[in-house]
Amino acid sequence: MRILPAVQRDAMFQVYAFCRAVDDIADSNLPRAERNAGLDRWRADIDACFAGRPPRHLAALDREIRAFNLQRDDFHAMIDGMAMDAVEDICAPDEPTLDLFCDRVASAAGRLSVRIFGMPEAEGIKLSHHLGRALQLTNILRDIDDDAAINRCYLPRELLAREGIAITDPATIVRDPALPRVCATLVERTLEHFRQADAVMDTCARAQVKAPRIMSGAYRCILEAAIARGFAFPRAPLRKPKARMLMIAARYALF
Protein backbone atom coordinates (compact mmCIF):
# COMPACT_ATOMS: atom_id res chain seq x y z
CA MET A 1 0.00 0.00 0.00
CA ARG A 2 3.02 2.29 0.21
CA ILE A 3 2.82 2.85 -3.53
CA LEU A 4 -0.46 4.74 -3.05
CA PRO A 5 -0.82 8.47 -2.39
CA ALA A 6 -1.16 9.21 1.33
CA VAL A 7 -4.90 9.89 1.19
CA GLN A 8 -5.62 6.60 -0.56
CA ARG A 9 -3.14 4.73 1.61
CA ASP A 10 -4.81 5.90 4.81
CA ALA A 11 -8.21 4.84 3.49
CA MET A 12 -6.90 1.42 2.46
CA PHE A 13 -5.40 0.89 5.91
CA GLN A 14 -8.84 1.45 7.43
CA VAL A 15 -10.51 -0.96 5.00
CA TYR A 16 -7.76 -3.51 5.60
CA ALA A 17 -8.19 -3.19 9.37
CA PHE A 18 -11.91 -3.88 8.99
CA CYS A 19 -11.31 -6.91 6.75
CA ARG A 20 -8.67 -8.27 9.11
CA ALA A 21 -10.91 -7.82 12.14
CA VAL A 22 -13.85 -9.75 10.73
CA ASP A 23 -11.56 -12.41 9.24
CA ASP A 24 -9.92 -12.93 12.64
CA ILE A 25 -13.33 -13.47 14.20
CA ALA A 26 -14.36 -16.05 11.59
CA ASP A 27 -11.08 -17.97 11.92
CA SER A 28 -10.83 -17.80 15.70
CA ASN A 29 -11.18 -20.76 18.04
CA LEU A 30 -14.13 -19.17 19.82
CA PRO A 31 -17.41 -21.10 19.98
CA ARG A 32 -19.55 -20.53 16.90
CA ALA A 33 -22.13 -18.55 18.87
CA GLU A 34 -19.45 -16.12 20.02
CA ARG A 35 -18.03 -15.74 16.52
CA ASN A 36 -21.49 -15.00 15.14
CA ALA A 37 -22.11 -12.51 17.94
CA GLY A 38 -18.83 -10.77 17.12
CA LEU A 39 -19.79 -10.47 13.46
CA ASP A 40 -23.23 -9.18 14.45
CA ARG A 41 -21.54 -6.44 16.49
CA TRP A 42 -19.61 -5.44 13.40
CA ARG A 43 -22.83 -5.29 11.38
CA ALA A 44 -24.33 -2.99 13.99
CA ASP A 45 -21.22 -0.80 14.07
CA ILE A 46 -21.18 -0.45 10.28
CA ASP A 47 -24.88 0.39 10.30
CA ALA A 48 -24.19 3.04 12.95
CA CYS A 49 -21.57 4.63 10.68
CA PHE A 50 -24.04 4.86 7.82
CA ALA A 51 -26.71 6.22 10.17
CA GLY A 52 -24.43 9.09 11.16
CA ARG A 53 -23.64 7.69 14.61
CA PRO A 54 -20.19 6.11 14.18
CA PRO A 55 -18.77 4.33 17.23
CA ARG A 56 -15.74 6.11 18.59
CA HIS A 57 -13.40 3.28 17.63
CA LEU A 58 -14.54 3.56 13.99
CA ALA A 59 -14.18 7.33 13.64
CA ALA A 60 -11.27 6.94 11.19
CA LEU A 61 -13.11 4.35 9.08
CA ASP A 62 -16.20 6.56 9.08
CA ARG A 63 -14.18 9.44 7.63
CA GLU A 64 -13.03 7.24 4.76
CA ILE A 65 -16.55 5.94 4.16
CA ARG A 66 -17.68 9.50 3.57
CA ALA A 67 -14.57 10.65 1.70
CA PHE A 68 -14.74 7.83 -0.86
CA ASN A 69 -18.47 7.05 -0.86
CA LEU A 70 -17.86 3.48 0.31
CA GLN A 71 -20.99 1.35 0.24
CA ARG A 72 -22.71 -0.25 3.22
CA ASP A 73 -23.65 -3.31 1.16
CA ASP A 74 -19.99 -4.09 0.49
CA PHE A 75 -19.12 -4.00 4.19
CA HIS A 76 -22.08 -6.24 4.93
CA ALA A 77 -21.13 -8.62 2.12
CA MET A 78 -17.68 -9.04 3.66
CA ILE A 79 -19.19 -9.77 7.07
CA ASP A 80 -21.68 -12.21 5.53
CA GLY A 81 -18.82 -14.02 3.80
CA MET A 82 -17.01 -14.43 7.09
CA ALA A 83 -20.24 -15.69 8.63
CA MET A 84 -20.35 -18.47 6.04
CA ASP A 85 -17.13 -19.79 7.60
CA ALA A 86 -18.23 -19.07 11.17
CA VAL A 87 -21.66 -20.73 11.04
CA GLU A 88 -20.35 -24.09 9.86
CA ASP A 89 -17.29 -25.72 8.36
CA ILE A 90 -17.72 -25.44 4.61
CA CYS A 91 -17.30 -28.75 2.79
CA ALA A 92 -17.77 -29.08 -0.97
CA PRO A 93 -20.17 -26.18 -1.55
CA ASP A 94 -22.24 -26.17 -4.70
CA GLU A 95 -21.12 -23.83 -7.49
CA PRO A 96 -23.51 -20.94 -6.66
CA THR A 97 -22.48 -21.06 -3.00
CA LEU A 98 -18.79 -21.06 -3.87
CA ASP A 99 -19.27 -18.10 -6.21
CA LEU A 100 -21.23 -16.23 -3.54
CA PHE A 101 -18.48 -16.94 -1.02
CA CYS A 102 -15.83 -15.60 -3.41
CA ASP A 103 -17.90 -12.50 -4.07
CA ARG A 104 -18.38 -11.80 -0.39
CA VAL A 105 -14.89 -12.45 0.96
CA ALA A 106 -12.87 -11.14 -2.00
CA SER A 107 -14.84 -9.15 -4.57
CA ALA A 108 -16.57 -7.08 -1.88
CA ALA A 109 -13.17 -5.96 -0.60
CA GLY A 110 -12.31 -5.14 -4.19
CA ARG A 111 -15.42 -2.99 -4.59
CA LEU A 112 -14.41 -1.01 -1.51
CA SER A 113 -10.85 -0.67 -2.80
CA VAL A 114 -11.57 0.46 -6.36
CA ARG A 115 -13.57 3.40 -5.05
CA ILE A 116 -10.51 4.46 -3.11
CA PHE A 117 -8.32 4.01 -6.20
CA GLY A 118 -10.63 6.34 -8.14
CA MET A 119 -11.67 3.87 -10.81
CA PRO A 120 -14.80 4.51 -12.89
CA GLU A 121 -17.83 2.78 -11.42
CA ALA A 122 -18.51 0.18 -14.12
CA GLU A 123 -14.86 -0.75 -14.62
CA GLY A 124 -14.29 -0.95 -10.88
CA ILE A 125 -17.19 -3.32 -10.34
CA LYS A 126 -16.11 -5.53 -13.24
CA LEU A 127 -12.51 -5.62 -12.04
CA SER A 128 -13.62 -6.49 -8.52
CA HIS A 129 -15.76 -9.32 -9.86
CA HIS A 130 -12.97 -10.98 -11.83
CA LEU A 131 -9.88 -10.17 -9.78
CA GLY A 132 -11.62 -11.00 -6.51
CA ARG A 133 -12.59 -14.42 -7.79
CA ALA A 134 -9.13 -15.00 -9.27
CA LEU A 135 -7.47 -14.23 -5.95
CA GLN A 136 -9.87 -16.30 -3.86
CA LEU A 137 -9.72 -19.31 -6.16
CA THR A 138 -5.94 -19.06 -6.00
CA ASN A 139 -6.20 -19.12 -2.21
CA ILE A 140 -8.40 -22.21 -2.40
CA LEU A 141 -5.98 -24.02 -4.70
CA ARG A 142 -3.02 -23.03 -2.53
CA ASP A 143 -4.63 -23.93 0.80
CA ILE A 144 -6.22 -27.31 0.02
CA ASP A 145 -4.33 -29.11 2.77
CA ASP A 146 -4.39 -26.29 5.31
CA ASP A 147 -8.16 -26.02 4.87
CA ALA A 148 -8.64 -29.77 5.20
CA ALA A 149 -6.69 -29.67 8.47
CA ILE A 150 -9.41 -27.41 9.92
CA ASN A 151 -12.22 -29.50 8.38
CA ARG A 152 -12.88 -27.25 5.39
CA CYS A 153 -12.96 -27.93 1.67
CA TYR A 154 -13.96 -25.22 -0.79
CA LEU A 155 -13.76 -27.36 -3.94
CA PRO A 156 -17.19 -27.37 -5.61
CA ARG A 157 -19.24 -30.52 -5.28
CA GLU A 158 -20.23 -30.54 -8.95
CA LEU A 159 -16.59 -30.87 -10.02
CA LEU A 160 -15.89 -33.47 -7.35
CA ALA A 161 -18.91 -35.53 -8.43
CA ARG A 162 -17.94 -35.25 -12.10
CA GLU A 163 -14.59 -36.84 -11.29
CA GLY A 164 -16.18 -39.56 -9.14
CA ILE A 165 -15.01 -38.15 -5.80
CA ALA A 166 -17.43 -38.92 -2.98
CA ILE A 167 -18.54 -36.01 -0.81
CA THR A 168 -17.35 -37.37 2.53
CA ASP A 169 -15.05 -35.28 4.69
CA PRO A 170 -12.29 -32.82 3.72
CA ALA A 171 -9.40 -35.05 4.79
CA THR A 172 -10.66 -37.87 2.57
CA ILE A 173 -11.57 -35.67 -0.38
CA VAL A 174 -8.14 -34.04 -0.63
CA ARG A 175 -6.41 -37.44 -0.75
CA ASP A 176 -8.45 -38.74 -3.68
CA PRO A 177 -6.32 -39.66 -6.73
CA ALA A 178 -8.78 -37.84 -9.00
CA LEU A 179 -8.35 -34.51 -7.21
CA PRO A 180 -5.79 -33.11 -9.71
CA ARG A 181 -8.48 -33.18 -12.42
CA VAL A 182 -10.77 -31.07 -10.25
CA CYS A 183 -7.93 -28.65 -9.58
CA ALA A 184 -7.07 -28.44 -13.29
CA THR A 185 -10.60 -27.23 -14.02
CA LEU A 186 -10.37 -24.65 -11.23
CA VAL A 187 -6.98 -23.50 -12.51
CA GLU A 188 -8.48 -22.79 -15.95
CA ARG A 189 -11.34 -20.91 -14.34
CA THR A 190 -8.92 -18.88 -12.26
CA LEU A 191 -6.74 -18.02 -15.25
CA GLU A 192 -9.81 -16.83 -17.16
CA HIS A 193 -10.70 -14.50 -14.30
CA PHE A 194 -7.14 -13.15 -14.36
CA ARG A 195 -7.44 -12.58 -18.12
CA GLN A 196 -10.74 -10.76 -17.71
CA ALA A 197 -9.24 -8.62 -14.93
CA ASP A 198 -6.29 -7.75 -17.17
CA ALA A 199 -8.66 -6.67 -19.92
CA VAL A 200 -10.38 -4.25 -17.55
CA MET A 201 -7.12 -2.86 -16.18
CA ASP A 202 -5.81 -2.29 -19.70
CA THR A 203 -8.60 0.25 -20.24
CA CYS A 204 -7.89 2.22 -17.05
CA ALA A 205 -5.42 4.93 -16.12
CA ARG A 206 -2.19 3.37 -14.87
CA ALA A 207 -2.33 5.19 -11.53
CA GLN A 208 -5.79 3.74 -10.82
CA VAL A 209 -4.68 0.13 -11.18
CA LYS A 210 -1.17 0.05 -9.70
CA ALA A 211 -2.26 -1.81 -6.59
CA PRO A 212 -4.57 -4.25 -8.43
CA ARG A 213 -1.77 -5.00 -10.92
CA ILE A 214 0.60 -5.86 -8.08
CA MET A 215 -1.99 -8.07 -6.38
CA SER A 216 -2.72 -9.82 -9.67
CA GLY A 217 0.94 -10.39 -10.39
CA ALA A 218 1.71 -11.68 -6.90
CA TYR A 219 -1.19 -14.12 -6.90
CA ARG A 220 -0.34 -15.32 -10.38
CA CYS A 221 3.08 -16.26 -8.99
CA ILE A 222 1.36 -18.30 -6.29
CA LEU A 223 -0.90 -20.00 -8.83
CA GLU A 224 2.04 -20.79 -11.10
CA ALA A 225 3.91 -22.30 -8.15
CA ALA A 226 0.91 -24.48 -7.33
CA ILE A 227 0.63 -25.63 -10.94
CA ALA A 228 4.34 -26.43 -11.08
CA ARG A 229 4.13 -28.43 -7.85
CA GLY A 230 1.02 -30.30 -8.93
CA PHE A 231 -2.08 -31.27 -6.99
CA ALA A 232 -1.58 -34.99 -6.39
CA PHE A 233 -1.38 -36.11 -2.77
CA PRO A 234 0.93 -35.70 -0.89
CA ARG A 235 1.47 -32.05 -1.79
CA ALA A 236 4.55 -30.14 -0.66
CA PRO A 237 3.87 -26.78 1.01
CA LEU A 238 4.23 -23.85 -1.36
CA ARG A 239 6.94 -21.29 -0.87
CA LYS A 240 6.20 -17.72 -1.85
CA PRO A 241 8.32 -16.71 -4.87
CA LYS A 242 9.62 -13.58 -3.15
CA ALA A 243 12.03 -12.43 -5.84
CA ARG A 244 9.36 -12.39 -8.55
CA MET A 245 6.89 -10.65 -6.24
CA LEU A 246 9.42 -7.91 -5.50
CA MET A 247 10.03 -7.45 -9.22
CA ILE A 248 6.30 -7.07 -9.82
CA ALA A 249 5.97 -4.54 -7.01
CA ALA A 250 8.92 -2.54 -8.31
CA ARG A 251 7.59 -2.56 -11.86
CA TYR A 252 4.30 -0.92 -10.95
CA ALA A 253 5.56 1.22 -8.08
CA LEU A 254 8.37 2.91 -9.98
CA PHE A 255 6.99 3.44 -13.46
If you write DSSP's letter for every residue of 151-171 in order, what string do you get? T-B-S-HHHHHHTT-----HH
Distance CA(13)–CA(225), nearest Å, equals 29
Vertex 115 angle, CA 112 and 241, to 5°: 65
Chain centre distance of CA 92:
18
Q: Output the pLDDT for position 148.
A: 98
pLDDT per position as a tens digit, 168-180: 999 999 999 999 9
Rounded to an integer, the average pLDDT of 240-244 is 62
Q: Output the pLDDT for position 247.
A: 57
Distance CA(254)–CA(129), nearest Å, equals 27
pLDDT per position as a tens digit, 82-133: 999 998 999 999 999 999 999 999 999 999 999 999 999 999 999 999 999 9
Closest CA to 46 of 36, 33, 61, 64: 61
Distance CA(30)–CA(112), nearest Å, equals 28
Between helix 210-229 and helix 121-142 the angle, nearest 10°, is: 30
Q: Is the peptide bond before 120 cis (omega within 30 degrees of 0)?
A: no
Amino acid at 64: E
Q: Output the pLDDT for position 239.
A: 76
pLDDT category of residue 159 using cuts at 50, 70 and 90: very high
pLDDT per position as a tens digit, 45-87: 999 999 999 999 999 999 999 999 999 999 999 999 999 999 8
Distance CA(139)–CA(49), nearest Å, equals 31
**Contact at 8 Å (CB) between 84 and 104?**
yes
Q: What is the largest CA-CA distance in the chain?
A: 55
pLDDT per position as a tens digit, 17-46: 999 999 999 999 999 999 999 999 999 999
Can you give the pTM of this predicted structure?
Answer: 0.94
pLDDT > 90? residue 195: yes
**Contact at 8 Å (CB) between 82 and 105?**
yes
